[in-house]
Amino acid sequence: IKRVAVLTSGGDAPGMNAAIRAVVRAAASQGIEVVGVRRGFSGLHRGEMHLLGPRDVANTIQRGGTILLTARSRTWRTPEGRAEGARYLREWGVGGLIVIGGDGSFHGGYHLQEEHGIPVIGVPGTIDNDLYGTDHTIGYFTAVETALDAVDKLRDTGASHERIFVIEVMGRHAGHIALDVAVAGGAEEVFIPEDEKPIESVVEIVKQSVEKGKKGSIIIVAEGYDGGAQAVGDAIQAGTGLETRVSILGHIQRGGSPVSSDRILASRLGEAAVYALMDGQKGVMVGRTSGGITYTPLPETWQNSKDVSHDLYRCARVLSI
């Protein structure tokens, strides 16, 4: 293999640049050239590509976002769009594609491989941590820190006013960020999509916390929980009459300089993705499980669900006594 291509796709995640850097430099160490594709699959079917050398990724390991830009592409969902992309990859003499992104991006890469025979390796990059086959995804650790920082700040104002704060964190279908933030932020309760408990239950929880002498409370809601934080906040206000505020943290959780765990994970996985292509692997995601590098067939990463830590869920409850 003489040349590989790399792209970032779907929602950006802190640490994607560290992963691109690792791909470029690991490849260079093996005498392999790297073609950077801009704007994910959207750019691939338009041929937005250029060579990336080791010096081009200098001063990027600490930067949030993605220097290659990203997009969610509609055209890529069509066989015609993918055929265009495959044509460009062939023109550039690319022998394998590394896709840094989440499950939607892996779908896109998998179809390309199936239809056009171009080997694809996935690198898990999403703040949601919702991919089966890796303990953590690139960006997750930073997103948790960013959300936690916001929760701590909201706690200051919430405690001063003796209010209930309902805080929504990201996680389209997953409660991983919510659970971590709930435990680390000392939340009263946490609502996640993996356990759709009835929204009314929050009224009893808040009433009990008041009876225990708590003046204010933090309640964490994952975006994917039905109705989100607004519905939970409305239920509290209606059911208890207590002064409640809702705060939706949103895209701030996707930005910022990656924390060390994300940089290290990205560096290891970017390097592993290059070696995987050299070994003739294809259609797998490189992941990190119990400290070791693992290879999971791409369809399994989205077909098998990654469970949240039930132990953490239990712990959050116990500690809010």
Site string for ligand F6P, 132-171 (x = CB under 6 A): --------------------------------------xx
Residue from 86, 127, 246, 265 binding ligand F6P (CB under 6 A) = 127
Per-residue tokens: 50:
């250029």
Of 81 and 125, which has the nearer Cβ to ligand F6P? Answer: 125
The sign of the CA dihedral 199, 304, 97, 61 is positive
Per-residue tokens: 279:
């070994």
Of 88 and 225, which has the nearer Cβ to ligand F6P? Answer: 225
* Residue 188: half-sphere exposure toward Cβ, Cα within 13 Å: 25
Per-residue tokens: 69:
């830009």
Per-residue tokens: 121:
């390796």
Q: Which helix (H) or strand (E) holds 199?
A: none
188 is in an annotated binding site: yes
Of 46 and 172, which has the nearer Cβ to ligand F6P? Answer: 172
Per-residue tokens: 54:
């080791």
| Rounded Cα distance, 5 and 50, in Å | 9
Q: 12, 128, 130, 262: which one is catalytic?
A: 128
Interaction of residue 33 with ligand F6P, rule CB under 6 A: no
Interaction of residue 172 with ligand F6P, rule CB under 6 A: yes
Quote the DSSP letter at residue 321. -
Active site residue 128: yes
In the range 10-29, which residues lie near ligand F6P by CB under 6 A?
Answer: 11
| Rounded Cα distance, 262 and 278, in Å | 24
Residues that bind ligand F6P (CB under 6 A): 11, 102, 126-128, 170-172, 223, 254
| Binding region for ADP | 21-25, 155, 186-188, 212, 214-216
| Binding region for ATP | 11, 72-73, 102-105
